Amino acid sequence: MRRVYISKNYPGLSNGGTKGKRDMERIMDDMGFLNIGCQPTFTKNKILGFLYTLRSVIVGLWNLKKGDNLVLFYPFKKYYSFICNIAHFKGAKLITLIYDFGYYRRKRVTRKQEKKKLSKNNYLLVVNKQMKQELQDQDYKMPIGIFHLWDVLSDSPDTEPIEKTKLSNPIEVIYAGNLKPGLHDFMYMLDKEYPPQNYKYTIYGTKFSEGQLINDDKIHGVGFVPTDDIIKTTTGDWGLVWYGNSIWEIDGAYGEYLKLTTSHKPCTYMRCHIPVISWSQAAFADFVRENNVGICVDSLNQLDEILPKISQEEYDVMKNNAIEISKKLENGYHFKTAYFEAEKYLMNN
């Protein structure tokens, strides 16, 4: 039995999803997996990216053997059903790690269509119990494992966070991600209607229009920063997980989707050794409460009242818990544990 995967083209490494998949591939390499496709490429050119991925899929399926355990990421654009069909024809077993449901946020397929695709698997891996329940409610028959968090690797062995002994004054909240006006307007709304009084924001990400701000002394953007550099340089006290156009809740499709899945953001923050601020209705809020790695809020306007009331001692407990989880994140613990459970099941069934 071989452990195998097929790499592809990734259009740059400036988003959490792409980094997350490359980190998973690196973890699999460390576990003795074989990339039976071509080496990954990173072009943003759509035509070249299509051709690179197609070549890798063809090479990978040619190299696939009977008895192989093939790990796929879902969605795998254009080729997923084709790969599954050929893999079954050649006698391989399929384990798919689900990143995203096409029917939920992007509305590109129906539940029925997606179930038809995913039912080709011998085993599924999902990030939390809510996502598992969603599949079970749709009567998926195959076993479903949970890996809980997205592991976050570093490119350099000296990638260590700054170790602070005291909270900043004012308290610093960091946000890593896209803040494109019209798509994620919550920060601009907060600036205009409830500007921070007892804390400040540092924004790591693209498409942040700092020129629109009124209170640019409390909300400051530094542009895109690679994850390793955020880990090594941030002086933040908290990491915010929020999306959408409202400060009162995470609204629209993003809000509904976060009740089901866990993004890469909180994992990045815990790798920085800082606690997380989560929306109280997000699926990840359960993890925050159970592991005491942050706080959960209904709306962002609560932060001015809540953050100053958290004592240094209370904060230190949450920070230390984040540090313990970071040790697992940087070594691929969550994927490795879930994969070995899947492999054990497939060997015995």
Both tokens of 191, joined, read 């600036």
Kindly indicate the confidence band of residue 29, based on its pLDDT and cuts at 50, 70 and 90.
very high
Q: pLDDT digit string (tens) for 54-108?
A: 999 999 999 999 999 999 999 887 889 999 999 999 999 999 999 988 887 667 7
Share of the chain above pLDDT 70, in %: 98
Cα–Cα distance list, 173 to 72, 154, 179, 184 (Å): 35, 22, 15, 17
Average per-residue pLDDT in the chain? 93
Return the SS3 of 257.
Answer: helix
State mean pLDDT over 112-127.
95
Per-residue pLDDT at 100? 85
Select from 282, 280, 281 the least CA-distant residue to 296.
280
Contact predicate 205/175, CB 8 Å: yes
Per-residue pLDDT at 281? 96
Return the SS3 of 175.
Answer: strand
State mean pLDDT over 112-128.
95
* Whether pLDDT at 13 is above 80: no
Residue by residue, DSSP assigns 35-72 as: E-SPPPB----HHHHHHHHHHHHHHHHHH--TT-EEEE
Contact predicate 68/94, CB 8 Å: no
Contact predicate 33/1, CB 8 Å: no
State mean pLDDT over 167-177.
95
State mean pLDDT over 30-41.
96
Q: Which string of b and e fits 284-309 if b means at least 16 CB within 10 Å?
A: bbebbeebebbbbbebbeebeeebee
Write down all domains in the chain, each with its CATH number in brackets: 3-151+331-348 (3.40.50.2000), 171-329 (3.40.50.2000)
Per-residue pLDDT at 106? 67
Both tokens of 65, joined, read 């053997």
State mean pLDDT over 215-241.
93
Per-residue pLDDT at 15? 61
Q: pLDDT digit string (tens) for 146-166?
A: 999 999 999 877 788 988 889
State the Cα–Cα distance between residues 9 and 52, nearest whole angstrom: 6
Q: Which string of b and e fits 157-176 if b means at least 16 CB within 10 Å?
A: eebebeeeeebeeebbbbbb
Q: What is the CA radius of gyration of the chain?
A: 21
DSSP state, residue 38: P
Share of the chain above pLDDT 90, in %: 76
Per-residue pLDDT at 14? 59
Give the distance between the most distant pair of CA atoms in the chain.
62
* Whether pLDDT at 19 is above 90: no
pTM (two decimals): 0.94
Per-residue pLDDT at 205? 87
State mean pLDDT over 176-186.
86
* Whether pLDDT at 16 is above 70: no
